[in-house]
Amino acid sequence: MRRRAIAALLLVLSVAMLTLYFRETAGGAVHRVQETSLTVISPLQRGAARAIKPFRDAWHWVGDLFHAKSENADLKQEIAKLQLDDARYLTIQQENDQLRALLAIKRGHIFANGTNDGLRLIPARVIARSTNVWYSTVTIDVGRSAGVAVYDAVVNGEGLVGRVTAVTDNACQVTLITDQQSFVDAMVLPGGGQGLVAGSVTGDLTLQYVDKSQVVKVGQDVVTSGMRDSIFVRGIPIGVVTGVAQQDVELYQSISIRPLVDFHKLDFVMVVHK
């Protein structure tokens, strides 16, 4: 009887905390405790991320290798030998590629309009990832002290990664554009059809609310539209159109997008502070 009472009490407490969490504002007590917790744990996450990185890279290389096997068995064997012989070199090269891509952002190459004037770009490293599919988030190692603020956009050398949703002094949480509660105002190029890029629990992206009168074709690029008061600057690449469907009963087109960013291999990113 006492055991049941204790368990019931703890369950009620859990529900009470859940209710409080959703009812309070973003600056409420529970949210503040969460930010403090992240401040405490982020150095450990940073260390763990660095310690695990060689293993993650090796795992990814194995995955890539498995893919290549179906295309060319001989080539795969050669690559496998090279990768196993020099895994460290490949890891460093991968980091180098990502850093060079970030440098390209600094030089204004990532943005469609060719400039990033007036923006502050803050380089960062991913130190933790969400542990379930329900929340597509990562934690990066820069925070308020580096000038990061909530709603700042986050990019890497490939395109838009997400937006900052919580900040502490030395770390922040980034909600990826694949999160099911992420919506990004976007447009299709060329053509200019505008809509909202929405994430999903499956990790797929869709461009929603594009009027049927707009002509959208497979292979076209999707970039941020940067509408007035948007949190994203104009012209950040998001993805490529992979499918367009129209149904008589729907008011808008159904457009599938393949994101440019490989979210499984995120390491270095850049926070775009307006």
Partner 1 sequence: MNVPLTSPSLTSPPAGSRAAHVTAEIGRLVVALVAAVLLETALAANVRVMGANPDFALIVVACVGLLRGAEVGAGFGFLAGTLVSFVLLEPVGVNSFIFVIVGYLAGRYAETADLQSGFAPVVTVFAASLLAQSMFAVTQFLLARQVPFVFVTTRVIVPAVILDTLLAAPMYVVVRFWMRGEGTRRAYQTP
Contact residues: partner 1, CB under 8 A:
1-3, 6-7, 10-11, 13-22, 30, 33-35, 37-38, 41, 44-45, 47-49, 52, 56, 128-135, 137, 139, 165-166, 173, 180-181, 200-202, 264
Q: For residues 8 and 104, which CB has a smaller minimum distance to partner 1 in the complex?
A: 8
CB of 247 to partner 1, least distance (A): 19
Smallest distance, partner 1 to C-beta of residue 124, A: 16
Tell me the closest approach of the beta carbon of residue 58 to partner 1, in angstroms: 12
Instruction: Closer to partner 1 by CB, 14 or 77: give it.
Output: 14
Distance of closest approach, residue 128 Cβ to partner 1, in angstroms: 4
Between helix 87-106 and helix 73-85 the angle, nearest 10°, is 90
When the beta carbons of 156 and 224 are compared against partner 1, the nearer one is 156
Q: Least distance in Å: CB of 255 to partner 1?
A: 18
CB nearer to partner 1: give 170 or 220: 170
